[in-house]
């Protein structure tokens, strides 16, 4: 159930030129069509972000980014990602070990459960935590009476982000480890390695590119999540505002240049993510796929 | 659930325990809160909530715009996958990389950028305005945003299938006298169709729940450009938790039905075409 | 219909697949292109089919230039190595495909299509399986569907690329005998590409041995097996023993042996190598002086009606393989470890140094 298309693709087979291809005119028309579509929907929006962000000059751009509220939002976003990504990476490793190395009943149900957050609307992802921890929620009043505030506070943001990004690392590692099989680990065990030694010396090096890939995607989503965080944050400026939320506030205040300046940071993050992703794909193809399989 | 086949590898108890604990705390318990909350509504209340005119209008827009967006992505995604796999041209690698942008770019930023580009004075909107086409703050705008969100799905499901398609199959059609177009329609397209359908359904499911990219471009006018997730948000802001919950249950049910459809589809095609 | 290929050259990037190949295939023949992978045999077949365009040279069908004719218009029946069946279509629709894609004016009516497909399925012994999908068939059945599909367009020539390569040994043998009978029945010019010498020798009227983009030899199975024109053909078709020696005025000297090589009467003390098949070796216990090479028996394998001896030349330490009938083996009454003498009964001498001996076994 690939709620997110699984990315690490095998290397492309060379396309054999043959007298069977389309005539050049058709070929170029198709390429032009694809370029137009991607241009209208992907390239123009990205260009708009940077053009608008810099429309009032570099000084205004810097001013918007160095605004204390923007700096606080950057800090909060980094903090949330720093908590969420390692936790979900750990979960992904544990789940992949349990699922790919052992046979048990209910395995496909478990995998479906892991995929579930991809199928849930971001707004609902936030809503379920409000229903649980909100002031009218199931556990909220009890927690509040003990001074623990989850909703409209940082813990809620962390929880919602954890939920939304939960599948990324796991669903990268499970198919990878399943395809690699457990022969190498069994060999290590037969040579006397302990469980942890096997894990750190055999398993981890074998899955490192897949793990990195999952972490990159998880991080991008953790920093960029909007809907779920929007529901639980309460938009308290300087307290529970992450970067995407800050963009929205600035935009709603008609402060377009600042909104786009902050948005440009997130766009750079997205572009860096794409480049990192391409590099990891390239490494994985030339490294893990060519040699050991 | 925990009866593993005998294995020389250790760690099943630890990793399985961790996995189940983590999933329970983050997924199972919160999701069951949703259903517990719905259970506090009577059937009549639930029905009244989900059949209110504003809700029905939002449903129509959500499903309609998501469907149109997924159809556009089905056709254009197939085109993009075809061009990326079959042709070599300068910039192909960059194009291939940029397809994933909607996965990497925060939805809010995407929405903001699309709104600005398609607004009447925007880079694209200024060419649409003379044609009498209004994109921003209309259902068309919602569709544009949802097309952006779901763009990678069809491309990324079709691409590997097209790559693995042996050239011999099309060559066989040619030796049998089929023209290029006949070969595409009768041989290539049917082979790709399951992947296109999977991508289409994923894009549709994703568009149905999408919030961030739509919220800016739609203008959020009740009865006109309000989608379901926005309506849930509006109900939350009015502290109408039961109402929000009822809508959420409707949406979740729809998403699960779609995922089930994908699984059945994939099971069906893999059974029939496992080899050959 | 006859096929002619004239001076065809084909490059893929820096790799030259065909280096000027010319060949005439008579109408109605069953021809095998035989060679190792990379020899250019499949490329030549694809160029004949029109699936690949030659960089230079011409392809003629029945004497008419077909080089620039599109593959769609050539009416060649092509059977692909991995069948290339349309997996979303039933067997029936696969076979009917070539008829259905014809222009409306030439397309037979539905009833005619049904009749023709039915006939073809009967011909390939797949009656009743028309409703199945390719994935539900065995490898041999798929191969026959591919053949029926190719025959449906009433091809002028039938081209098969490694048709039995993916099948197991028994099915393979059955299918190639059946293909031979089918060919005799239909009398259609047929080319089979194969790397399996046994297959080529058994099925074909004419064998084209290819190596490194060139044709090494064209001949009947007997010709290419019994009278190879080059060391390559010797090596590629069956096992062979090499006897290195000095060649001088029509005589090859190998140890104490003097072997006649009349075709090298002009040679003056040059290096030469004699090639002899295992069954062309005479094995004796006590030959007349100077007429045998001493060798130790290392292994004896009884393979069906014949006996294979692994010998070890005592003078050079080189391995020698001999094949005897069971009767002569019994007469000799030898055991492993004993000393015998070998001498080629029939051999062919080549002057150039032998190519690095590839492990070739029967």
C206 three-class SS? strand
Q: First-to-last CA distance in chain C? A: 35
Judge whether B16 is closer than 8 Å to chain A, CB to CB: yes
Quote the DSSP letter at residue C108. Answer: P
Put simply, whether B188 touches A (Cβ < 8 Å) is no
Q: What is the pLDDT of residue C284?
A: 87
Position B147 scores a pLDDT of 95
pLDDT above 50: residue A250: yes
> How distant is the Cα of C45 from the closest Cα of chain B, in angstroms?
13
The answer to whether the CB atoms of A231 and B107 lie below 8 A apart is no
- Phi, psi at A238, each rounded to 5°: 70, 5
- C70 and A19: CB-CB below 8 Å? yes
DSSP state of C284: E
Does C251 have pLDDT greater than 70? yes
- Closest-CA residue in chain A for C11? A17
Q: Does residue C305 surpass a pLDDT of 90?
A: no
Q: How far apart (Å, rounded) are the C-alpha atoms in residues B77 and A38?
A: 10
- What's the whole-number mean pLDDT along residues C265-281? 87
Task: State the smallest CA–CA distance between residue C274 and chain A in angstroms.
Answer: 43
Instruction: Give pLDDT, residue A124.
Output: 93
| Token couple for C287 | 């030959």
Tell me the two tokens of residue C8: 């065809």
User: Over 70: is that where the pLDDT of C355 sits?
Assistant: no
pLDDT at A11 over 50: no
What tens digit of pLDDT does each residue of A70-84 get? Answer: 999 999 999 999 999
Which of B23, B37, B95 has its CB closest to that of A113?
B23
Quick one: tokens of A142? Answer: 């009890």
Q: Residue A54's CB: how many other CB atoms inside 10 A? A: 15
**Integer Cα distance of A224 and A47 in angstroms:** 19
Q: Is residue A15 within 8 angstroms of chain C, CB to CB? A: no
- Strands C206-211 vs C251-254: parallel, antiparallel or unpaired: unpaired
Angle subtended at Cα A39 by Cα A33 and Cα A43, rounded to the nearest 5 degrees: 160
For residue C178, give both structure tokens: 């059946």
The whole-angstrom separation of Cα A287 and Cα A234 is 46
Higher pLDDT, A193 or A173: A173
Phi-psi region of A8 (alpha: psi -120 to 50; beta: other; left: phi over 0): beta
Beta-bridged to residue C283, according to DSSP, are C342
| pLDDT at site A19 | 59
The candidate with the shortest Cα–Cα distance to A172, out of A137, A228, A216, is A216
CB contact under 8 A, B179 and C72: yes
- At residue A4, the 3 state secondary structure works out as coil
Q: State mean pLDDT over A200-204.
A: 90
pLDDT at C361: 37
| Cβ atoms within 10 Å, residue A35 | 16
Give pLDDT tens digits for C16-75: 999 999 999 999 999 999 999 889 999 999 999 999 999 999 999 999 998 888 899 899
- CB pair distance less than 8 Å for C97 and B166: no
Burial per residue of C36-59, b for 16 or more beta-carbon CB atoms within 10 angstroms, e otherwise:
eeebbbbbbbbbbbbbbebeebeb
What confidence category does residue A18 fall into, taking pLDDT thresholds of 50, 70 and 90?
A: low
Shortest Cα distance from C184 to chain A (angstroms)?
32
CA atoms of B58 and C69, how far apart (whole Å): 59
Across C319-346, b (16+ Cβ under 10 Å) vs e yields ebbbbbeeeebeebebeeeeebbbbbee
Query: How confident is the model over C144-191, as pLDDT tens digits?
Result: 999 999 999 999 999 999 988 777 888 888 888 888 888 988 889 999
Helix (H, G, I), strand (E, B) or coil at C129: coil
CA-CA distance, C176 to C184, in Å (whole number)? 12
Instruction: Tell me the helices (H) and strands (E) count for chain A, helix number first.
Output: 16, 0
Query: Sheet of C270-276: strands edge to edge?
Result: C257-260, C251-254, C241-248, C270-276, C348-350
With beta carbons less than 8 A apart as the criterion, state whether C308 and C323 touch. Answer: yes
- Can you give the residue ranges of every domain in chain B? 42-275
What is the average per-residue pLDDT within A28-54?
94
pTM: 0.83
| Percent of chain C scoring above 90 in pLDDT | 45
Which residue has tokens 């568009």?
Answer: B207
B215: which chain A residues are within 8 Å (Cβ-Cβ)?
Answer: 248
Degrees to nearest 5, angle at CA A198 with A193 and A203: 160
pLDDT at residue A1, as a whole number: 38
Mean pLDDT over A99-126 rounds to 89
User: Chains with ≥3 Cβ pairs under 8 A against C?
Assistant: A, B
Q: Within 13 A of C237's CA, how many CA atoms are on the CB side?
A: 30
Q: Which residues of A touch C50 (CB under 8 A)?
A: 19
Query: Which CATH superfamily, name and number, covers B42-275?
Result: MetI-like (1.10.3720.10)
> How far apart are alpha carbons A245 and A115 in whole angstroms?
26
Residue A42 has pLDDT above 70, yes or no: yes
* C324-338 residue pLDDT tens: 888 888 888 888 888
Supply the pLDDT for residue B5. Answer: 52
CA distance C52 to C43: 8
User: C266-293 burial, b for 16+ CB within 10 Å, e for fewer?
Assistant: ebeeeebbbbbbbbbbbbeeebeeeebb
Q: Which of A127, A182, A217 sits opposite B244 (nearest CB)?
A: A127
Within the 64-103 window of chain B, which residues sit less than 8 Å (CB to CB) from chain A?
76, 79-80, 82-89, 93, 95, 97-103
Mean residue pLDDT of chain A comes to 86
Question: Does position A292 have pLDDT exceeding 70, yes or no?
Answer: no
* Mean pLDDT within A251-256: 89
Which is higher by pLDDT, B270 or C138? C138
Q: So what's the ipTM on this one?
A: 0.87
* pLDDT value of position C152: 92
Instruction: Say how many CB pairs under 8 Å bridge A and C.
Output: 11
| pLDDT (average), residues C139-144 | 90
Q: Answer whether residue A114 shows pLDDT above 50.
A: yes
| Element containing residue A70 per DSSP (H, E) | helix A68-101
Beta bridge partners of A19: none
Question: Using CA atoms, how far apart are residues B148 and B138, in angstroms rounded to an integer?
Answer: 16
Residue A146 forms contact with B (CB below 8 Å):
no
The number of beta carbons lying within 10 Å of the beta carbon of residue B271 is 10
Contact C31, C25 (CB under 8 A): yes
pLDDT at C145: 94
Are the C-beta atoms of residues A81 and A220 closer than 8 Å to each other?
no
The structure tokens listed for B237 are: 């802001």
By Cβ distance, the residue of B76, B160, B202 closest to A3 is B202
pLDDT for A217 beyond 70: yes
The residue ranges of chain B whose pLDDT is under 50 are 1-3, 274-276
For chain A, percent of residues with pLDDT exceeding 90? 51
């Amino acid at each position: 159930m690939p709620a997110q298309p699984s990315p690490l693709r095998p290397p492309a087979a060379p396309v054999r030129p043959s007298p069977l291809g389309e005539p050049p005119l058709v070929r170029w028309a198709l390429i032009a069509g694809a370029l137009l579509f991607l241009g209208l929907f992907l390239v123009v929006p990205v260009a708009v972000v940077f053009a608008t962000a810099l429309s009032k000059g570099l000084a205004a751009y810097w001013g918007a980014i160095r605004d204390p509220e923007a700096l606080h939002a950057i800090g909060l976003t980094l903090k949330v990602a720093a908590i969420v990504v390692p936790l979900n990476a750990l979960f992904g490793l544990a789940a992949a070990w349990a699922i790919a190395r052992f046979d048990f009943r209910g395995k496909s149900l478990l995998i479906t459960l892991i995929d579930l957050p991809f199928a849930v609307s971001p707004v609902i992802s936030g809503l379920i935590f409000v229903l649980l921890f909100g002031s009218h929620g199931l556990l909220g009043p009890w927690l509040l009476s003990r001074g623990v505030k989850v909703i409209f506070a940082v813990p809620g943001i962390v929880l919602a982000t954890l939920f939304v990004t939960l599948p990324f690392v796991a669903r990268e590692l499970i198919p990878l480890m399943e395809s690699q099989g457990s022969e190498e680990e069994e060999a290590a065990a037969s040579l006397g390695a302990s469980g942890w030694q096997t894990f750190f010396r055999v398993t981890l090096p074998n899955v490192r590119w897949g793990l990195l890939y999952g972490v990159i995607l998880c991080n991008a989503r953790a920093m960029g999540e909007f809907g779920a965080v929007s529901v639980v944050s309460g938009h308290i400026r300087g307290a529970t505002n992450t970067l995407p939320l800050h963009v929205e506030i600035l935009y709603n205040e008609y402060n377009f240049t600042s909104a786009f300046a902050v948005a440009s940071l997130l766009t750079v993050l997205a572009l860096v993510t794409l480049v990192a992703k391409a590099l990891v794909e390239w490494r994985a193809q030339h490294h893990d796929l060519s040699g050991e399989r | 659930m925990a009866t593993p086949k005998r294995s020389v590898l250790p760690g099943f108890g630890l990793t399985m325990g961790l996995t189940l604990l983590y999933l329970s705390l983050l997924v199972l318990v919160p999701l069951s809160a949703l259903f517990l909350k719905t259970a506090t509504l009577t059937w009549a209340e639930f029905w009244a909530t989900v059949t209110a005119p504003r809700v029905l209008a939002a449903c129509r827009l959500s499903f309609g715009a998501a469907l149109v967006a997924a159809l556009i992505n089905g056709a254009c995604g197939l085109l993009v996958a075809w061009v990326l796999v079959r042709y070599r041209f300068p910039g192909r690698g960059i194009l291939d990389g940029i397809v994933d942008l909607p996965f990497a770019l925060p939805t809010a930023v995407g929405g903001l950028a699309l709104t600005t580009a398609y607004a009447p004075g925007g880079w694209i909107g200024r060419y649409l305005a003379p044609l009498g086409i209004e994109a921003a703050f209309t259902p068309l705008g919602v569709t544009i945003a949802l097309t952006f969100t779901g763009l990678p799905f069809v491309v990324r499901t079709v691409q590997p299938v097209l790559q693995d398609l042996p050239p011999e199959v099309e060559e066989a059609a040619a030796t049998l006298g089929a023209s290029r177009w006949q070969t595409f329609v009768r041989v290539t397209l049917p082979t790709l169709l399951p992947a296109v359908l999977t991508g289409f359904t994923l894009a549709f499911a994703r568009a149905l729940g999408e919030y961030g990219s739509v919220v800016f471009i739609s203008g959020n006018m009740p009865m006109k450009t309000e989608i379901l997730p926005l309506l849930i948000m509006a109900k939350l802001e009015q502290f109408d938790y039961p109402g929000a919950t009822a809508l959420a249950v409707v949406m979740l049910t729809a998403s699960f039905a779609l995922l089930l459809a994908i699984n059945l589809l994939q099971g069906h095609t893999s059974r029939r075409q496992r080899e050959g | 219909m006859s096929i002619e290929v004239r001076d065809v050259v084909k490059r893929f990037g820096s790799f030259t697949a065909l280096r000027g190949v010319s060949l005439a295939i008579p109408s109605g023949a069953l021809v095998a292109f035989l060679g190792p992978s990379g020899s250019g045999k499949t490329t030549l077949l694809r160029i004949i089919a029109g699936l690949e365009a030659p960089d230079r040279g011409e392809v003629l069908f029945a004497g008419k230039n077909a080089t620039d004719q599109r593959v769609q218009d050539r009416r060649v029946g092509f059977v692909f190595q991995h069948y290339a069946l349309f997996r979303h279509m039933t067997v029936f629709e696969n076979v009917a495909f070539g008829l259905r894609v014809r222009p409306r004016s030439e397309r037979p009516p539905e009833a005619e299509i049904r009749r023709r497909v039915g006939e073809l399925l009967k011909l390939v012994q797949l009656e009743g399986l028309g409703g199945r999908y390719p994935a539900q068939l065995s490898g041999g059945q798929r191969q026959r569907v591919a053949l029926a599909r190719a025959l449906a367009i009433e091809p002028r020539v039938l081209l098969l690329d490694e048709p039995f390569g993916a099948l197991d040994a028994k099915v393979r043998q059955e299918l190639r005998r059946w293909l031979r009978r089918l060919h005799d029945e239909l009398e259609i010019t047929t080319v089979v590409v194969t790397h399996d010498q046994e297959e080529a020798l058994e099925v074909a009227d004419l064998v084209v041995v290819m190596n490194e983009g060139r044709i090494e030899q064209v001949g009947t199975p007997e010709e290419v097996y019994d009278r190879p024109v080059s060391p390559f053909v010797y090596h590629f078709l069956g096992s062979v023993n090499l006897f290195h020696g000095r060649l001088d005025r029509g005589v090859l000297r190998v140890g104490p042996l003097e072997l006649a090589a009349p075709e090298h009467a002009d040679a003056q003390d040059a290096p030469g190598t004699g090639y002899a098949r295992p069954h062309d070796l005479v094995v004796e216990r006590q030959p007349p002086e100077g007429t045998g090479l001493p060798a130790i028996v290392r292994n004896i394998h009884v393979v069906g009606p014949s006996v294979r001896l692994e010998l070890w030349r005592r003078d050079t330490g080189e391995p020698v393989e001999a094949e005897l009938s069971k009767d002569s083996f019994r007469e000799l009454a030898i055991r492993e470890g004993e000393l015998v003498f070998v001498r080629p009964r029939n051999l062919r001498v080549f002057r150039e140094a032998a190519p690095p001996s590839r492990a070739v076994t029967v």
